[in-house]
Amino acid sequence: MGEAAKTVIFEIERQNSTDESSYWEKFELPYRANMNVISALMEIRRNPVNMDGKKTTPVNWDMNCLEEVCGACSMVINGKARQSCTALVDQLEQPIRLQPMRTFPVVRDLIVDRSRMFDSLKKVKAWVPIDGTHDLGEGPRMPERKRQWAYELSKCMTCGVCLEACPNVNDKSDFIGAAPLSQVRLMNAHPTGAMNRDERLNAIMGEGGLADCGNSQNCVESCPKGIPLTTSIAALNRDVSIQMFRNFFGSDQSFFVSAENTQAWLKQMSFAPVFAILTK
Amino acid sequence: MDNNREFLMRRLHSLLGVIPIGLFLTQHLIVNHFATQGVEAFNQAAHFMANLPFVIFLEIFVIYLPLMYHAFYGLYIAFTAKNNPGHYSYMRNMLFVAQRYTGVFLVVFIAWHIFETRFQVAIGAGEADFNMMENILSNPLMFAFYVVGVLSATFHFANGLWSFFVTWGITVSAKAQRYSTYFTLLVFIVLSIIGIRALFAFV
């Protein structure tokens, strides 16, 4: 530590835009105590000169909270996906290699577009519907012990690390990955959310859903929030195993298996005006 | 509900791997083990198996069709994965990769094994007895091929059994999955010993 000229070397995989090919660029920075990857990137931005002494464009990256709760600064550091804000230089092997999470389309340098995760959350209906044409009142209460348990699942920040680490999430497959699946377990655990339980279970039985998991369990090893993702997946596996039989043999808990059924039901129950509004 | 074909195909793939293919593999290796009791015992057992009533239907519905589905859909699964054991070298990920490599190898091994034994019997070019296996395994290269084949099969079955328990929601908690790892490791060891002992009985 006492050496005056101590430096840190970074190798960064850069890319100017989504369609352009990538290239590597090296940077050597003066070492400062307790520096993390973000502070190093800030140093490069302040003085964008690469190791060859040439002036270059500043490296682009995404960040927001700087305390590992937003997920924005996720990138591949020395081969592993993680948040750059909590990646301390002292704990990393040098040269430190930074790469974008290529599971997602690269916007520029280390910035990726994680929209697909939000699309997946929409696909699996990862919300609790409470809107009605009138005040629906309070929902059932959630037991405190269950709330504490569910809180662990709610820590997901949609950072995309579990998708990047998963061998089955790639351009050859539609697999939505662990994060949105675990959200289905969270929403189904909610007493009001449970009212639409079968809709979510049927959604994850669709294309790119739960069945595409290959149990490599990289997600649970990589999750920065320590969410029991593989337990969520196995729990959902049990739920859909039962749902599958409910769908086939018929059950009061498998009615809303598709939008078509819902619409047919609305028609049948002579909710014609509502139906007209819904399908407008 | 019309878009869950992939889900059903995956579940079928998982189910068939254990029932009937895993059960058949276990039975096959156990019957092979008669070889350790001598030529006569093996031939008697092989004769019994080959002359079961409705044997051709048993073969088609318990072996050929499930095996072919499991093999071809399995190839599709294996080649849609992007293996990453280098940076994510966790035990389960290594087993994930090994499951895919052994699966692809087993397609080749089993195709060759069936051609060399059952197919030869079907075209009348041989009889499935001690002699046939002795001839095949007298070639050291073939012997090595069979050792790797048996170990791949027992590994693929044992590890597949672990995934089966997860896929059907039987082992949910991390603890249950850990104990399931120990159990399937035992399955792998026991079946491997049975299978390898039988192979050595032919040389």
Q: How confident is the model at residue A280 (pLDDT cuts 50, 70, 90)?
A: very low
pLDDT at A267: 55
Q: Does A207 touch chain B (CB under 8 A)?
A: yes
Residues with Cβ within 8 Å of residue B143, at least 6 apart in sequence: B137, B199, B203
Contact A218 B10 (CB under 8 A): no
Mean pLDDT over the full length of chain B: 96
Contact B7 A211 (CB under 8 A): yes
Q: For residues A9-16, give the mean pLDDT.
A: 97
pLDDT higher than 60, residue A21: yes
Q: Does A243 touch chain B (CB under 8 A)?
A: no
pLDDT at A74: 98
What's the whole-model pTM score?
0.90
Q: Which is it for strands A7-14 and A96-99: parallel, antiparallel or unpaired?
A: parallel
Mutation choice for B interface testing from A200, A237, A261 by most B CBs within 10 A = A237
Query: Which of A243, A154, A39 has the alpha carbon at shortest distance from B11?
Result: A243
pLDDT at A129: 87
Q: Does A212 touch chain B (CB under 8 A)?
A: yes
CB burial class (10 A; 0-12, 13-18, 19+) of residue B146?
Answer: buried
Per-residue pLDDT tens over the stretch B18-72: 999 999 999 999 999 999 999 999 999 999 999 999 999 999 999 999 999 999 9
Q: Report the gap between the CA of B112 and the closest CA in chain A (Å).
A: 27
Q: How confident is the model at residue A251 (pLDDT cuts 50, 70, 90)?
A: confident
Above pLDDT 90, what percent of chain B?
Answer: 95
Per-residue pLDDT tens over the stretch A40-51: 999 999 999 999
Q: What's the CA gap between A262 and A260, in Å, rounded?
A: 5
Buried b (16+ CB within 10 A) or exposed e, A131-163: eeeeeeeeeeeeeeeeeeebeebbebbbbbbbb
Residues 254-273 of A with CB under 8 A from B: 257-258
Which residues of A fall within a CB distance of 8 Å from B97?
167, 216
Q: Report the gap between the CA of A176 and the closest CA in chain B (Å).
A: 13
Residues with Cβ within 8 Å of residue A266, at least 6 apart in sequence: A272, A274, A275, A278
Q: For residues B120-136, give the mean pLDDT.
A: 92
Residues 135-194 of A with CB under 8 A from B: 165, 167-168, 170, 172-173
Q: What's the CA gap between B110 and B63, in Å, rounded?
A: 12
Which residues of B fall within a CB distance of 8 Å from A165?
84, 88
Contact B177 A257 (CB under 8 A): no
pLDDT higher than 80, residue A260: no
Per-residue pLDDT tens over the stretch A137-194: 888 999 999 999 999 999 999 999 999 999 999 999 999 999 999 999 999 999 999 9
Per-residue pLDDT tens over the stretch A90-118: 999 999 999 999 999 999 999 999 999 99
Pick the residue with more confidence: A252 or B37? B37
According to DSSP, the residues that pair with A111 across neighbouring strands are A108
Contact B96 A234 (CB under 8 A): no
Question: Which amino acid, B33?
Answer: H
Contact B172 A235 (CB under 8 A): yes
Residues with Cβ within 8 Å of residue A51, at least 6 apart in sequence: A9, A26, A27, A28
